[in-house]
Structure 1
Amino acid sequence: MSIDQESQMSDAELDDFLGSHETGVLSLARDDEPYSIPISYGYDATARTFYMRLVSTPDSEKRAFLASEPSARLVVYDGTETAYQSVVATGHLEEVSPDELTVEHIEQYGQAKRPLFEIWADSKADLDIELYEFEPETLSGRQTVLDLEGGGDEE
């Protein structure tokens, strides 16, 4: 197997890819310490903004990282036997207060899957659900097409 074609995604390809997916890995960093979690998101291609519901307990590691206003990196990827795509977004998360919610916010958060409370050891009443927007400072994507025959461009 060899790489037949590798390229940067265009803006339209980025938006289409992000709009057709709903999960990724969010990494937060403070000082020299990283923290990564799988998340679900909604994506607005016009504003190029991600919308996330993040669930945590008051004294969790996630809550401590979010409170520190860390740098953030979101990776969304997908692959098949013949192709691979990945998008990386970097920047800072902005918490959205329930008092500041607009109709547009509600529509976007509605596209993000609801957190699965069953995965938490704590009761639902002990969980904090906070809403975040992520308007990336950088957004880039790559796509690779694989040649399963291994011949590449050779004749």
Structure 2
Amino acid sequence: MSVDELQDYGLAEMDDGEIRSFLSTQKMGVLGLPEDGGPYLLPLSFGYDGDSRLYFTYLLGSRSRKETMSEAADDASFLVYKVDTMYNWQSVLLSGTISAVHESGWDDLEEILSDVWRPDLFETATLSGEIKVYEFRIDDWTGIKHQGLPPALESNDE
């Protein structure tokens, strides 16, 4: 079924303002990078600039697949979703490009990245690795939501 057909059951497309608001309140999503045989998917926390960019902090090992794939990617996708119940959820799919941010620009991103969720492992483990910040430039987005019971299940109090 298409989104249009599902509107009869309470599904709605999100407008740009709703998408911006949703991205501003979320901190986790799934990055999809192109790879032969299907996308390479990474759950990542992110910071959002309130307009057209997301930022990711990568903790890199000596041979980082996500770094190699991010550097090679011409295009990428990012999915952010929130499910409260089967009748109350939101989903936003972003498409765009990803690139490393030069270390000299990291200070400008401090506020955006300050409240990004990170696994406790990043804070407490003694890790030998490099950190890089990546920018996801949003070229296109689409969002859908379902909030409330489908019309067929709503009670008729007449």
**TM-score scaled to structure 1, two decimals?**
0.80
Q: Which residue, out of 94, 98, 103, partners 1:98?
A: 103
Do structure 1's residue 13 and structure 2's residue 18 form an aligned pair?
Answer: yes
The number of residues matched between the two structures is 148
Structure with bigger strand share is 1
How far apart are residue 4 of structure 1 and its match?
3.3
**What is the rounded CA distance, in whole Å, between the counterparts of 2:52 and 2:122 in structure 1?**
31
Alignment RMSD (CA, Å)? 2.8
Cα deviation code 1:85-135 (max 9, x no counterpart): 1001111112101123343x121122322454369xx9512x221101112
Unpaired segments ≥5 residues, structure 1 = none
**What is the rounded CA distance, in whole Å, between the counterparts of 1:99 and 1:50 in structure 2?**
18
Q: Which residue, out of 126, 130, 133, partners 1:131?
A: 133
How far apart are residue 139 of structure 1 and its match?
1.1
2:80 maps to what in 1? 76
Do structure 1's residue 50 and structure 2's residue 54 form an aligned pair?
Answer: yes
The percent identity for this pair of structures is 25
Higher relative contact order (CA 8 A, sep 6+): 1
1:4 maps to what in 2? 9
Structure with bigger helix share is 2
Tell me if the contact between 2:9 and 2:151 (Cα under 8 Å) persists in the aligned partners: no
**What is the rounded CA distance, in whole Å, between the counterparts of 1:149 and 1:91 in structure 2?**
35
Unpaired segments ≥5 residues, structure 2 = 1-7
After the TM superposition, list the runs of 4 or more consecutive aligned residues in structure 1 that deviate by more than 4 angstroms.
152-155
**What is the rounded CA distance, in whole Å, between the counterparts of 2:119 and 2:146 in structure 1?**
31
What amino acid sits opposite 2:143 in the alignment?
A: G
2:147 maps to what in 1? 145
